[in-house]
Amino acid sequence: MIRPILTYPNPELKKKSAPVTIITEATRDIVRDMTETMYEAPGVGLAAPQIGIHQRIIVIDVSARDEQPDLIIAINPVIVHAEGDAYEEEGCLSVPNYAANVHRHAQVVVKALDPVGNEQTWRAEGLLAIAFQHEIDHLDGILFVDHLSPLKRDLFQRKQRRLAATPPEAP
């Protein structure tokens, strides 16, 4: 089932998510919904808080749209090692129509559980490393715009307030 994606400044996006203590069929239903929602959006990643579920679950697929899907499902993901510097443009399904360069680690090692409870490890670099960091941030109530300099964040917030105050166009 495709779920609505919460957008900035919804306060639900700032809440920290709880670890998944038992993986149940309900957990796998959430994963299926998240996957459908991410692909429909379309996006390269989605965290459970973005659909209003405060559990530590993320889905990622950085494959190109014309390639075979390469879905990653990570329950309770943790970055266990990070190194290097990356400064790339990021966007977010919860912050539509805005992108900005963000400092991240260039390489990460992530451990998590898969949907049946087996521990998985990913060594990631490039877009996948950035996606892991971005989605794990969501689990801690952090949006990519929180990584911006105070000046850029202020400009972003002003733009968002202007957009919110603009009446919608008539059909």
The yes-or-no verdict on residue 60 having pLDDT over 90 is yes
The catalytic position among 36, 67, 89, 135 is 135
Please tell me whether the overall predicted TM-score, pTM, comes out greater than 0.85 for this model.
yes
The yes-or-no verdict on residue 171 having pLDDT over 70 is no
| Range of weakest confidence among 59-73, 79-93, 156-170 | 156-170
Every domain of the chain and the residues it spans? 11-165
| The dihedral sign for the CA sequence 122, 123, 124, 130 | positive
For the segment 101-150, what is each residue's pLDDT rounded down to a tens digit? 999 999 999 999 999 999 999 999 999 999 999 999 999 999 999 999 99
How many other CB atoms sit within 10 Å of the CB of residue 73?
21
The yes-or-no verdict on residue 55 having pLDDT over 60 is yes
Average pLDDT on 165-171 reads 69
Is 169 marked active-site? no
Do 44 and 131 form a contact (C-beta atoms < 8 A)?
yes
Q: What is the CATH code of the structural domain delimited by 11-165?
A: 3.90.45.10
